[in-house]
Amino acid sequence: MTTTVLAAGNHFIRPSLFSAAVRKAAGDTPLEIRELQFGWPHTPFGPVAEVIEASGTEDEMIEALQGVEICVTEHGPLTERILAHCPDLRLFCTSRGGPVNANLAAATRHGVAVCHAPGRNATATAEHTLTLLLAAARGVGDTHTDLRRGVWRGDYYDYDNCGIEIDGATVGLIGFGAIGSRVARVLHAMGAHVLVHDPYVRPEALAGIAEQVSLDDLLTRSRIVSLHARVTPETTGMIGRDQLAAMPRGAVLVNCARGALLDYDAVCDALESGQLAGAGFDVFPEEPIPAGSRLLTAPRAVLTPHIAGGSQQVAHKAAEIVAGDVGRYLRGEPLRHQANK
């Protein structure tokens, strides 16, 4: 019996990548794979009905899912209305780190298992964090901008304008999950003294790499601070004016996690006053950054447009992770990354 699969990709994880990964994971199982192309990232994702981050429309998905048992996608929505009109669907795999484009409660009521792809971009995000951290610590943003404008400034060699080295510096990481732990290992190898604040980390995971401390201790001791926490009611706005003031003058701040962790107005004040000597940000409170935002003119800030998790390897990893659960489903095995058990 042939199983029908919808591979709903976009310009990052192409439908052909999903199709190839699913065929490999399925082995000898006969498949009919239909492909659907969404517009992201050329067109922004956003809310679709009740799900918060999705690309495409309910009508597109309803049409494409007729007679489909398995769907693999990155941003395709799964809503109450879609589920009501697609009775053959039994497995919905989203290649996001979390199933933000799926209504889990509705999927459970309709008997549809939802799987996701945790850890898909941990390496890419860790590497991008290190890129921004090094760039911010050495003032790469402003020097690059000056040179592009034809300005050669010798005063960047003034003591007060020089950047800092990682070797021998104390670096604080707020969060020690899949991304933070990778960053910590690289910083440790570069000679940094790494501090970690994470109430959920096991002490043995830090052995020989980092020192576990309170948030207050981390802020007052760290010349460089990088955020790697999840957004929860407790962590929303966790770094504001008081926390920035507690850091050593001339510190560096990096955020490749989530914009909601940080008070960016307070950051701009700290950059303008010299309390922060540099900053590197890949995430923001509003995306795209609105015209007129202070972040666009803040001194010594290195900005990238929420691309830390984007690499060619991530596209392949994400497709392979969700395809793995497709293979388990077809073989009648327990699903590894099911979100609505």
- Catalytic residue annotation: 258, 287, 306
Return the DSSP state at 301. Answer: E
> Quick check: 281 and 258 in contact, CB under 8 A?
no
Could you give the CA distance from residue 2 to residue 103 in angstroms, rounded to a whole number?
27
Dihedral, 336, 200, 253, 219 alpha carbons, nearest 10: 180
User: Within a 13 Å sphere around the CA of 213, how many CA atoms are in the beta-carbon half?
Assistant: 19
Locate 285 and state its tokens: 């409170």
**Cis (ω within 30 of 0) for the bond into 41?**
yes
Please give the helix or strand (H or E) that residue 210 lies within, else none. strand 210-212
Reduced to 3 states, what is the DSSP secondary structure of residue 139?
Answer: coil
Distances in Å between the Cα of 331 and the Cα atoms of 118, 165, 283 are: 22, 52, 40
Reduced to 3 states, what is the DSSP secondary structure of residue 253?
Answer: strand
Could you give the CA distance from residue 248 to residue 246 in angstroms, rounded to a whole number?
7
Could you give the CA distance from residue 57 to residue 76 in angstroms, rounded to a whole number?
8
Residue found under tokens 């604040």: 197
> Quick check: 266 and 240 in contact, CB under 8 A?
yes
Q: Nearest-5° angle of CA 2, CA 8, CA 13?
A: 120
Locate 192 and state its tokens: 């940094």
Could you give the CA distance from residue 139 to residue 117 in angstroms, rounded to a whole number?
35
Phi, psi of 5 (to 5 degrees): -125, 140
